[in-house]
A and B are shown apart, each in its own frame.
Chain A
Amino acid sequence: TQLLEQSPQFLSIQEGENLTVYCNSSSVFSSLQWYRQEPGEGPVLLVTVVTGGEVKKLKRLTFQFGDARKDSSLHITAAQPGDTGLYLCAGGRNSGNTPLVFGKGTRLSVIA
């Protein structure tokens, strides 16, 4: 059972366009993290959101945690080729040593 569903799986857009990717679940998470992974490297943390309704901005990237802490979105404004990569969300369950749950990711390609 995939606890975190990410959509779309693939996205190819032109430079300068806006986009939103989603991370959805039927489960409640204590926190939600977003990572970006570039080819040949491991994922790198972008942001952590912990409060329902929380919005965080990182330059042109805006992250939102759903009010019920079951979903999250990542919005990119005026996408650049440097935004190309695999975007992964991961949820924390705050239960003993239980590890994070990762979604399968959204692969973004920004064409110049």
Chain B
Amino acid sequence: DAGITQSPRHKVTETGTPVTLRCHQTENHRYMYWYRQDPGHGLRLIHYSYGVKDTDKGEVSDGYSVSRSKTEDFLLTLESATSSQTSVYFCAITTGPNSPQHFGDGTRLSIL
């Protein structure tokens, strides 16, 4: 399914380093989301975007920033990674806030 691509798929890095994850879509969908998924916590929303340069915080936004300079790309940045940010990160896209979301295959991030 080539509509949404996350990169990298896996990354190992050290505490204190900056990390940027990329979500790329070819569907021209307006809404894009970043989630993290951890055992016992389910999917937790980090940040979302409802248009180019329009973003808002989710429930676990501390330590994360995002940018969306064009429709197809939504970047998630960890300015100074911490071990608590070790997780699997998912990007999702949709046509509307209540419409079904189409998810990427995830990025497994390990911070040592």
User: A residues engaging B (CB < 8 A)?
Assistant: 30-31, 33, 40-45, 48, 88, 90, 92-94, 96-100, 102-105
Q: How far is the CB of A2 from chain B (nearest CB, A)?
A: 9
Closest to B98 in A: A92
**Among B50, B92, B97, B104, residue most surrounded by chain A Cβ atoms (within 10 Å):** B97
Count of residues in B whose CB is under 8 Å from the partner chain: 22
User: Is the CB–CB distance between B42 and A102 below 8 Å?
Assistant: yes
A43 to B106, CA, bound (A): 10
Pairs of residues from A and B, 7 with the lowest C-beta to C-beta distance, nearest first? A42-B103, A92-B98, A104-B42, A45-B100, A97-B50, A102-B43, A97-B97
User: Is the CB–CB distance between B42 and A99 below 8 Å?
Assistant: no
Closest to B103 in A: A42
**With a CB–CB cut-off of 8 A, which chain A residues contact B105?**
40-42
Q: A42-B106, A43-B43, A99-B45 are in contact. List 15 more A-B contacts (CB 8 A).
A: A40-B105, A41-B106, A42-B92, A45-B101, A88-B43, A90-B101, A92-B98, A93-B98, A97-B31, A99-B33, A100-B97, A100-B101, A103-B42, A104-B41, A105-B42
Closest to B102 in A: A45
